[in-house]
Amino acid sequence: MSHGRLLLVLLSLVILVTAMKIDIKEEKPYNLPGDIIPERYRLAVVTHINDDEGFRFTGKVWISIMPIKPDVPVIKLHSKKLKIRFNEIRLLQCDQNSPKRTRIKITNAELIPEHDFLVIHPEVTLEKGRVYELYIPFESELNSDLVGYYKSSYLDKAKEKHWLSITQFEPTHARQAFPCFDEPNMKARFEISLAHDKKFTALSNMPLKWSEPFDGKSHWVWDHFQESVPMSTYLVAYSINKFHYKESYVKMVDDVVFKIWARPEAIDQVDYAKFVGPKVLKFYEDYFDIKFPLPKVDMIAIPDFGAGAMENFGLITYRETALLFQPNISSASSQHRVASVIAHELAHQWFGNLVTMKWWTDLWLNEGFATYIASLGVDHLHPEWNSFEEESRDNIQTVFIFDALKSSHPVSVPIGHPGEISQIFDAISYKKGSTILRMMHKFLGEEAFRNGVRHYLKKHKYNNAEQDDLWDSLTFEAHKIKALPEEFSVKKIMDSWTLQTGFPVITVERDYEKGHAKITQVRYLLDSKREKEFLETCWWVPLSYTTKKEMDFNATEAKHWLKCEDDHKPVLKVMKDMPPPEYWVIFNLQLSGLYKVKYDKKNWDLLIDHLTSEKFTDIHTLNRAQLIDDALDLAWSGDQEYSIALRIVEYLKQEREYIPWKTALENLASVNRMLKRSPQYGFFKMYMRKVLTPMYKLMGGIVSDKKASDRLDAVKHKILITSWACRFDVADCREEAVMLFKKWMHEEKPDIKNPIPIDMRSVVYCNAIRMGTEKEWNFLWERYLMSNVGTEKIMILSSLACSREVWILSRYLEWSCQEETGVRKQDMPTVFSSIAHTEVGYHLAKGYFYENFDKIHKYLGADTTRLDRFVRTLAKEMTTEKELVELSSFVKAHAQQLDKATQGVKQALETVEINTQWQHKNYKSISRVLKEFTEIHEELKAQA
């Protein structure tokens, strides 16, 4: 063969292999082939709960399927951890013009565990467009892994244990309950029947249609539920339980019937949820201009639940702490959380359930929208809380932490193997998704945004969509009312925010003589090793700003845009409408955009002068918080001196609002972690006492004679200041906490009478345990065991971690991994992180995790994605190269067990690396600045 011919053959082979690779990639062997769609499921499940057959279920499923490609040779669907009775599988061909059905012989059926596939081989190929019915019988155990179809339990007042069953199918766990096409774009109708002992109640997505006796079991019953609307498998839900319910009052005949379910001993805690649910649902019906499509909503509080809540169509499941509220025991913050979670899950009934993402790549369309719309819902319900501003600030500040890592990910994230899906249920999908939607809402305006959302939901209801479909609807409505220039599209702008990782820092360099400003952008990173590939990004940035001359902080629309070239390179912006030299300028009004701002030194000085004057409230509350956050973050990353940041923090002595204080203290908590094991920590403590003392004294201590404000933000402000004051031993904070706790201990009936103010209990408990002995710890542990209120129990669990007794914390770690001790499996990460964040507990928690990893891994069972919480908790506290090497070695040694937590582990390792960089870069300089600040303060104090 000639060289030329050989070369041609080789080239052909390369092309063939390349083409094969492309085909394989496009087919995604871990996904269903998409050649068959399900149209309807009839699902019948028999559930045994602690009877003579133990904890197990058997079932049958009839699936109406239709090939959408010609000559389909095999049927591929999902099944995991199910025992399939292969010899009983049946396939029938349905005649479209008569009820006649023809049986098709099955030559083989097999499981492919690697991809959770059940593959059925019929004797003949299936015809495109024809309907077939597939029948599969199955059985399995009710697991205790908090996913799939699992069991949960609770104790009644007599300490007798009661059991229930419940489902948690998102993202890919329906396949553990019944064979199904377990991908979000495989929507179908479901007709569900549940068999159970008569002493239980059955619930599912739809209302009960009818019941009938169970053949051969006189004390059993079949409950048959109405057929559902088209929905994805991950939204299917059912439960067998002995719960009680309260029903919301409905005004109109066609109103949705709301029932709130809980274990009998907690049914008196559902009244607030009963109030919130219908009101928020009605707000969404009006806002989306689409009536809720089901006749009922059941919301149920589950004692053991891995997620916070789950938006199953018509049967929404919650942790007890996310649904139940006891007015005389639960705190105001707990009430806010209950309202927020309910609003979030009900928003999903439209965003996620009615219109569902095609694939998990666009999970953010579900979670980001539900997070943002929920904040609107809560604000509508409780405008007196001022919660919308707080949630907006919380979301954006969380994004600034996570998305400043190289190991972050885009909002719309490519998903490979389905095992990766659980890892993107994180701050990026939820909080960055919400933040960029808020930004878009601001630059489009209310009318274009609301009409665009309505257009999208109506066009795609009961179907699947992707983010481009949303962009099209929003662009159409925005252009219609000229809310966006014709040459702009929402896609062009928003793709730069959803398809890229990170966010920009905007540098504003003013030319004070000419009245100009040069505006540039670059990706903000905490890691000082900023390789070129991480910086070559560009965002379409809506620029809002005001000046000392104008002071119009409500002008949140985009006055100008930072644009990108077609090759994604940023365009330099020169603005010629800057104020005279003596006036400051502030960009990003009310945090309307997802970006940080770095000013030149003179503009910072002008801003600091205004903040430290009596007129500091001229600057909007959110922008006061923004200035603190940007200055401290830029100092952390080495882009600016700490002296600027700490000068801004100084103004807090006159600040009365919660949001700026919360922003400052969350940032200073990071500095605290860096310094608390260093010789310079004394100066930081002195600095913090100086910052905190005026506000703590103004608030009057833990228990004040002053009338407490009913405003939620005021309550949260007091908790925040008091907690920090006790931590840094300000005034008599610790002594007052100890005294109040002792008073409680001396009560004759401490479980009935508690003299500690409800909202201050977390502060008092923690400090009393920190300053106390085994006696105080055991007293509080007993209160935990006796408590019937989930919000109280979780607060006590966190407070018990405040102990400084090494042996008590060691025992507590052991107890957290043994459910029979009283700590539920779902709460183990809370106990671990609470201990790890204390001075004494960090080394104990680290040692326990390293030495007992296999035990923890086994205990958590199937839901090993939660392991990254342990690794990230430890990483936040690590500040040395030695700790980085230790953690890296540990992760490498346990790579296989951490395979479902790779994203979180990467972020943890990068966090430790950044912490070590901070030590090299900032430790000496901040120590010097803190020393100067404290010495000046001491001199002024002496002079006074």
In this structure, what token pair is assigned to residue 748? 């004759």
Exposed/middle/buried for 345, CB within 10 Å: 0-12, 13-18, 19+? buried
**Exposed/middle/buried for residue 560 (C-beta within 10 Å: 0-12, 13-18, 19+):** middle
Cα distance between residue 595 and residue 776, in whole Å: 47
Report d(CA 261, CA 492) in Å as an integer: 46
- Take residue 713 and report the two structure tokens written for it: 């933000």
**What does the longest C-alpha to C-alpha distance in the chain come to?**
101
Cβ atoms of 507 and 520 within 8 Å: the answer is yes
Pairing state between β 356-357 and 464-465: parallel
Which residue is catalytic, options 345, 390, 666, 910? 345
Burial of 333 (0-12, 13-18, 19+ CB in 10 A): middle
- The amino acid at 921: K
Contact status, residue 127 vs residue 118, Cβ threshold 8 Å:
no
Determine if residue 173 is labeled as part of a ligand binding site. no
**500, two tokens:** 């890229």
Alpha carbon separation from 629 to 397, 405, 645 (Å, rounded)? 8, 17, 9
410 Cβ neighbours under 8 A, 6+ residues apart: 428, 498, 499, 500, 501
Distance CA 809, CA 605 (A): 47
Whether omega for the bond prior to residue 29 falls within 30 degrees of 0, making it cis, is no
- The answer to whether 864 and 857 have CB atoms below 8 angstroms apart is yes
**For helices 733-745 and 761-771, angle between their N-to-C axes, nearest 10 degrees:** 90
Q: Which of 249, 271, 251, 250 has the alpha carbon at shortest distance from 260?
A: 271
Distance (Å, whole) CA 475 – CA 449: 9
Q: Which helix (H) or strand (E) holds 133?
A: strand 132-141
- What residues contact 10, with CB distance under 8 A and at least 6 apart? none
Q: Cα dist. 312→297, 342, 349, 353 in Å?
A: 10, 12, 8, 8
Task: Tell me whether residue 345 is one of the annotated catalytic residues.
Answer: yes
Picking from 556, 560, 555, the residue whose alpha carbon sits closest to that of residue 543 is: 560
- Cβ proximity of 55 and 161 under 8 Å: no
CB 467 within 8 A of CB 358: no
C-alpha span between 910 and 878 (Å, rounded): 11
348 known member of a binding site = yes
Degrees to nearest 5, angle at CA 937 with 933 and 940? 140
Is there a contact between 538 and 496 (Cβ–Cβ < 8 Å)? yes
C-alpha to C-alpha distance for 683 and 895, rounded to whole angstroms: 41
Annotation-wise, does 920 bind a ligand?
no
Give dist(CA 861, CA 882) in Å, integer. Answer: 31
User: What is the distance between the terminal CA atoms of the chain, rounded to a whole angstrom?
Assistant: 100
* Rounded Cα distance, 507 and 603, in Å: 12
Q: How far apart are CA 393 and CA 390, in angstroms?
A: 5
Long-range CB pairs of 112-116 (<8 Å, 24+ gap) are 113/80, 115/29, 115/30, 116/78, 116/79, 116/80, 116/172, 116/175, 116/182, 116/418
The string of DSSP letters for 448-465 reads HHHHHHHHHHHHHTTSEE
| 359 DSSP 8-state letter | S
Q: Identify the helix (H) or strand (E) that includes residue 893.
A: helix 881-893
Annotated binding residues for Zn(2+), written as ranges, equal 344, 348, 367
Residues with catalytic roles: 345
Q: Which residues are annotated as a binding site?
A: 344, 348, 367
